[in-house]
Structure 1
Amino acid sequence: MIPHSIPEPKDYVDVAIKQGRTRGFLRGSVLRFESIPYASGERFAPPSPAVPFQFFFGDPSTTTHRQSLSVTCPVDAPPSIIESDFHPRANAGTGSTPTDGTSPGAPVIVFIHGGRYEEGFADELWYQGVRFAEEGFVYVSLNYRYRFEGFLPLVDEQRPADIDPSIDPNTEPEYYRGAEDIVVALQWVRDNIAAFGGDPEQVTLMGQSAGGALTAWTLCNPRTEGLVHRAVILSPGFPREGWPSREHVARALLGGPLTTKHLSRLTPDQLQRAYRRFARIYRTDCAVGPYPFRPNQMRDVPLLVGTLREELVQMPFARALDKHLSSKNPLVRQPAKVLARYAERALQARVRWASENPVGMAIGDSAIKRWAVAIMEEKRDTTWAYEFHGSQSAWHCADLPLVFDALKVAPKTVKYFCGESAAERLQPLATEFHGIVARFARGEDPEWPRYGSRRLVRRFDTDGAARGEVTREVAEDAYQQIREDYPELYPRY
C-alpha cells in the first residue's frame, strides 16, 4: 500500500456543489478537496445518491467511506468559490454557484486505483495527481467498494433496469456494486466538476491494475455513455476464473445464502475474516472482480493501453522458483520444474521455459498482459499501445510514479518498485510518459501510430532512460507471443 500523510492546512477555499458546501485546502500550488461522498447506502445495497450537506470537510486519515472521491485542481480553477481565507475571488465576493450555463473549463482526469479488488485508497500519495493539477487539469481520484462488499454477487439484490432480470447472478453476473460505484462517481463528476473548474465534456478515465480492468469494464456499461471521452488503461487485471466455480465456497465461508438479508446480519469483522479465508483459497488469481470481460462491448473512445515487460517477475514465489529452475544442480532444478508445471496448470498460463524468468513471466502474461492485448486486438483502430522494458523498473506498479511524474514522492515506495536512484535514472522517462498521458487527456493523439492492422507498439526503454535517453522505438507486433499463448480469454483447460 502506498502511504499517505496529511499536511497541516494553512489556507482554504469553500466551493458550492450540488450537495452543499465543501472545503478544500491549499497544498503547495494546488487545491485539495478530500473524501467527498459521491454516493451513500448500506454495504450491500446499490449506490444511492449522496446525502446533501450544509458543509463538508473530508479527512482521509480518519474516513473509511469507500464511496468517496478527492479532487485536486489549480488554485484559480474553481469558479464557484464562496469563501476563502486567501483567494481574491472569494474575498471580493464574486463567488457563485455553478449552473448549467457554466462555460467549459479544464480537462478532467478521473483515476481508479488498483489493489486486486481488495485494497488500495484514492488518497495515496502518488494518486493525488499534483503534477496534473499544476499543469491545468482538474484531477479526481475515487474509492469504490471492494472485497465482498463490492464484488460478491447476491441472488436478491436490486439491479439496474437494463440488466436482463433472467440472468442468474451465480452463473454470469453482469452487475457488481463496486463497478456500479464507479458509474455513480462519473455521474457525480458530470454534475459537479464544473464547480472545480473542470469540463464535464472532456473526461479521461484512467486506471491501473484492477483499476485498469475497471476502466475497461466501465466502457462496456451503457450507463456511462457520454460520461467518458478517452481512457488510459495501465496493466489491467481481471479474474481468470469467474463466479460459477466459487459461489459454493463463498456460501460455506459466509455461513448461509448469498442474500442481502443474510449478509446484513454479519458484522464487519465476520465479513473480513471470511474474505481473508476466501482470498487465501484463490491466491493464484484475483479472488473477486468483474467477470466475464467482453472487450467487444467496449465503446469506441480513444484508448491508451499498455503493460510492463516483466509485470510480476518480482513476486516472491516466482522469483524463488525461477532461481531454482536456473540451478545447475539437477536435485534443485527438477523439483522446481515439477512445481512450475503445476503452477502452469493452476494459473492457466503458458510457461516459456527458455526465458530468463519463466514462471514470473508466465504469471504476468496470464494475469495482466492477456487482458491488455485482448483490448488492443478488439479496438485496433482506436488504441495506441505501449510497453515498458529494460533490465529493471519494468514490473508491475513501476509505471505509477512515471505516469504521475512523482519519482520524488514517497521515496521508499519508489525505491521498492523502481530500484535504487530511481529519481535520477528514470526522470527523463517520467517526463516523457507523463507528458504523453497529459496531452492525450487534452485530446491530442500520441505521436506514434495506432495499434492497427500492423499491431504497432511504442516501447519505452528504462535502461535508456538511465542514460538520459528516451527511445522512440515503435515495434511491430510486440505482443505476438501473448496473442499466440492466449488466443481465448477464458479457455477451457
Structure 2
Amino acid sequence: MIARRELIGGAAAMGAMLIAPRAFAQSAAPVRTSTGSFQGTIEDGLRVFRGIRYGIARRFLAPQPAPAPAEVQPADRFAPPCPQNSDHAGLQDEDCLALNIWTADARPGANRPVMVYIHGGAYSTGTSTDPLCHGQHLAARGDVVVVTVNHRLNVLGYLYLARFDPRFADSGNAGQLDLILALQWVRDNIAAFGGDPRRVMVFGQSGGGAKIATMMGMPAAKGLFHRAATMSGQQVTASGPLHATERARALLAKAKLPESRAGELADFGVGELMELLAATEDPYLGGGVYMGPVFDMKWLTRHPFWPDAHPQSRHIPMILGNTRDETRAFLSPDSPKVQGLDWSNIADRIAPELRIDALPEWVVAEYRAQFPDWSPMDVFYAATTAGRSWRGQVIEAEERARAGAPGWVYQLDFASRTDPRRGAFHTMDIPLVFGTLDAKGSQTGTGADARAASKAMQDSFVSLAARGDPNHRGLPKWPKYTLPRRATMMFDTASRVENDPRKWQRELFARIPYIQPGT
C-alpha cells in the first residue's frame, strides 16, 4: 500500500483543490453525466464549468477514473495545477486531474465540435488556468465547446522507475496516461455539454503540442481524437528507457537512496520531490533534469515520428505551426547571452543554443555569407530558431507528407507589439488562437492588426475542428503541405501563403542529424 503524501495547498479533497472563486451573476441547472452532475456558471451567455475531476492520481501509477459523486458538484473554480518549480503556477496540488469547459449550449444534441487544449511548459511546468488559454472568446466566437486540462508533470508524471520497481511500470508515461483518461472522459461525457464526441480536436502549444505528437503514437489514445494542431511543439522521438533510467538514477543519488529503495520516493513529501528535482543536474544535458514520455515498450512501443509518421494517426487532419522567432522567448535580448554579442563571440555563444552537434563557426560563416546585412543578433536568433526549435516540426510535416497524411503548416509572423525586439516569439500564437488579446501576459496588443491575425488563426482552428480542413472564407487558399512545394500559411495582419519559406535555413540544417533534445 502506497502511503498518502503531503499535498501542496492542503487536502486532496476536490473542495480543497479549488482555486479562488470567481464572482459571477448567474447559475443554471446542473449538467448531468455518467460521472456525476456539475453546477457551473453563466458568464456572458456562456456556460462555464471549472475544476471537473476526471481522474484520481496516485504517485507514479496510472490514473484511475474519478468515482461519480452522489451530490451535485460545484464547478465554479479552477483546480490547482500539478506541483512544479515555477513562480507562475500559484496554489498547487498533486491530486490535480481536473478539466474546464466553456460552451454556448450545454444541451445534448447540440453537437458542436470540441477543442481540447493541452498546455505547454515542456513536460515539467504549466497550467490550464493561465488567462492566455481561457476558452470564453474561442467558445463564443467559434461555436465550439472548449476544454482545457490539467495533468501530472515533471517527476510526478514522467519519472521512469520501471527498471527499479515493478510496481511503477507506468511511471514514465503517467502524465500521458492522464491526458488519455481526460480524452476518454470527453468521449463519454462531452455530449451532455453540447459537444460532438465524433469531432474532438486536440490542440496544444509547446509541450502541449509535443504531448499531442506523442499521443499520436500511443495505441491507448487511438480513436480518442479526430483532428490535431500543434503550435511550436514537436516530439519526433521519445526518451529512451536507458537515458530515462539514468535520469531517475541521478535523482535517487541526490536523494541518497540506493536503487533497491527507489520505491521510497512514493512516500516523499511533494515539496521534497520538487526541491530534489531543482537540485539535480541532467546527466546528459546539464542544467535541469529533462522529463518527458518514455519509449517504454508498454504504452509507447515506437517513436511518434521516427522512422516515419506513426501509421496509427496518418488519417488525422493536422495543423503544424511554429513562430518565426521562437528563441527570442528563451533567450531575452537583455540576457547575458545576448548582451555584448558581436562577431568575435557569437560562435561560442551560439554553440550550446543550437542543441545539435554543428560547427558553430561554420554556421555563423554560412549565415553571414547568405545574409550580409544581418547583425550578430539577427544571426543568433535565426540560427537558434532554425537549428533548435523548428527542426522537429519540419521533420514531422515532411514525414506526414511522404505518407500522404492530410496536413497544413503555418509560420506565425505577427510580432510582439509591446516589445518589438522579441519579434514573433514562442507563445505569441496562444492569445491569437484563444482571442485572449487583452489577457495578462499577452504581447499582441488589442488593435485592428491583432484582431485580424487572431481572426485568421481562430477561424482556421475552428474550421479544422468542425470540418477537418482549416480553410475558410476570408483566408487565402491554404494548400495541404506536400513535397516539394511545402506550402505554408504565414499568419500575420494580412496572412498569405508562401512555398518553402526559410528554404535556405531548412537545407542548411538538414545536413546535420537531428536528435530530439532530451531523448
TM exceeds 0.5?
yes
- Corresponding position of 1:10: 25
- Corresponding position of 2:330: 315
Aligned with 1:71 (options 85, 90, 101): 101
Aligned with 1:378 (options 375, 399, 406): 399
Query: CA offset at residue 153 of structure 1?
Result: 0.7
Q: Decide whether the 8 Å contact of 2:350 with 2:380 is kept in 1.
A: yes
Question: Counterparts of 1:491 and 1:185 in 2: how far apart (Å)?
Answer: 27
CA distance 1:391–1:223, shift in 2 (3 Å): closer
Aligned with 2:41 (options 25, 33, 50): 25
- Corresponding position of 2:488: 458
Matched residue type, 1:243: A
Question: Counterparts of 1:484 and 1:240 in 2: how far apart (Å)?
Answer: 25
Question: Counterparts of 1:127 and 1:302 in 2: how far apart (Å)?
Answer: 23
- Corresponding position of 1:145: 152
Aligned with 2:52: secondary structure? strand
Matched residue type, 1:476: D
Q: Any stretches of 5+ residues in structure 2 without a counterpart?
A: 1-18, 81-91, 296-302, 368-373, 417-422, 472-476
Q: Decide whether the 8 Å contact of 1:23 with 1:56 is kept in 2.
A: yes
- Corresponding position of 1:116: 122
- Corresponding position of 1:94: none
CA distance 1:254–1:358, shift in 2 (3 Å): farther
- The percentage of counterpart residues that share the same residue type is 23
Question: Counterparts of 2:204 and 2:133 in 1: how far apart (Å)?
Answer: 10
Aligned with 2:78 (options 60, 63, 67): 60
CA distance 1:483–1:69, shift in 2 (3 Å): farther
Matched residue type, 2:107: P
Question: Counterparts of 1:207 and 1:310 in 2: how far apart (Å)?
Answer: 18
- Corresponding position of 1:334: 344
- Corresponding position of 1:438: 462
Task: Indicate yes or no: 2:503 matched with 1:473.
Answer: no
Matched residue type, 1:287: Y
- Residue correspondence of structure 1 range 280-299 to structure 2 within 5 A: 282=285, 287-291=290-294, 293-295=303-305, 296-297=309-310, 299=313
- Residue correspondence of structure 1 range 13-412 to structure 2 within 5 A: 13=28, 14-54=30-70, 55-58=72-75, 59-60=77-78, 64=93, 65-74=95-104, 76-79=105-108, 103=109, 105-134=111-140, 135-155=142-162, 156-157=165-166, 176-238=173-235, 242-243=243-244, 246-256=247-257, 257=259, 261-278=263-280, 282=285, 287-291=290-294, 293-295=303-305, 296-297=309-310, 299-300=313-314, 301-316=316-331, 320-326=336-342, 334-344=344-354, 348=357, 352-353=363-364, 354=367, 356-380=377-401, 381=404, 382-389=406-413, 392=416, 393-410=423-440
Query: CA offset at residue 147 of structure 1?
Result: 0.9
Q: CA RMSD in A?
A: 3.1
CA distance 1:317–1:259, shift in 2 (3 Å): farther
CA distance 1:259–1:369, shift in 2 (3 Å): farther
Relative to the length of structure 2, the TM-score reads: 0.76
Aligned with 2:344: secondary structure? helix
Q: Decide whether the 8 Å contact of 2:119 with 2:204 is kept in 1.
A: yes
Aligned with 2:467: secondary structure? coil
- How many aligned residue pairs are there? 435
Query: CA offset at residue 192 of structure 1?
Result: 0.6
Using the TM superposition, name which of 312-321 and 146-155 deviates more: 312-321
Question: Counterparts of 1:118 and 1:370 in 2: how far apart (Å)?
Answer: 22
Question: Counterparts of 2:480 and 2:31 in 1: how far apart (Å)?
Answer: 41
Query: CA offset at residue 289 of structure 1?
Result: 1.2
Q: Decide whether the 8 Å contact of 1:313 with 1:395 is kept in 2.
A: yes
Q: Decide whether the 8 Å contact of 1:454 with 1:477 is kept in 2.
A: no
Question: Counterparts of 1:461 and 1:106 in 2: how far apart (Å)?
Answer: 26
- Corresponding position of 1:172: none
CA distance 1:108–1:133, shift in 2 (3 Å): same
Question: Counterparts of 2:504 and 2:514 in 1: how far apart (Å)?
Answer: 15
Aligned with 1:448: secondary structure? coil
CA distance 1:472–1:340, shift in 2 (3 Å): closer
Aligned with 1:203: secondary structure? strand
Give a deviation string over 1:401-451, Cα, whole Å, max 9, x none: 1111221233xx113xx4xx4544322111111111111111142331111
Question: Counterparts of 1:220 and 1:398 in 2: how far apart (Å)?
Answer: 27
Question: Counterparts of 1:276 and 1:436 in 2: how far apart (Å)?
Answer: 39
Question: Counterparts of 2:120 and 2:289 in 1: how far apart (Å)?
Answer: 12
- Corresponding position of 1:166: none
Aligned with 1:449 (options 471, 474, 479): 479
Matched residue type, 1:126: L
Question: Counterparts of 1:140 and 1:258 in 2: how far apart (Å)?
Answer: 41
Q: Decide whether the 8 Å contact of 2:47 with 2:106 is kept in 1.
A: no
Aligned with 1:9: secondary structure? coil
Question: Counterparts of 1:178 and 1:260 in 2: how far apart (Å)?
Answer: 19
Query: CA offset at residue 334 of structure 1?
Result: 3.1
- Corresponding position of 2:86: none
Query: CA offset at residue 294 of structure 1?
Result: 3.0
Query: CA offset at residue 19 of structure 1?
Result: 1.6
Query: CA offset at residue 237 of structure 1?
Result: 4.7
Question: Counterparts of 1:219 and 1:52 in 2: how far apart (Å)?
Answer: 29
Aligned with 1:287: secondary structure? coil
CA distance 1:5–1:42, shift in 2 (3 Å): closer
Relative to the length of structure 1, the TM-score reads: 0.79
Question: Counterparts of 1:105 and 1:477 in 2: how far apart (Å)?
Answer: 38
Matched residue type, 2:276: A
Question: Counterparts of 2:289 and 2:127 in 1: how far apart (Å)?
Answer: 18
Question: Counterparts of 2:200 and 2:268 in 1: how far apart (Å)?
Answer: 39
Q: Decide whether the 8 Å contact of 1:36 with 1:68 is kept in 2.
A: yes
Query: CA offset at residue 104 of structure 1?
Result: 6.7
Matched residue type, 1:371: G
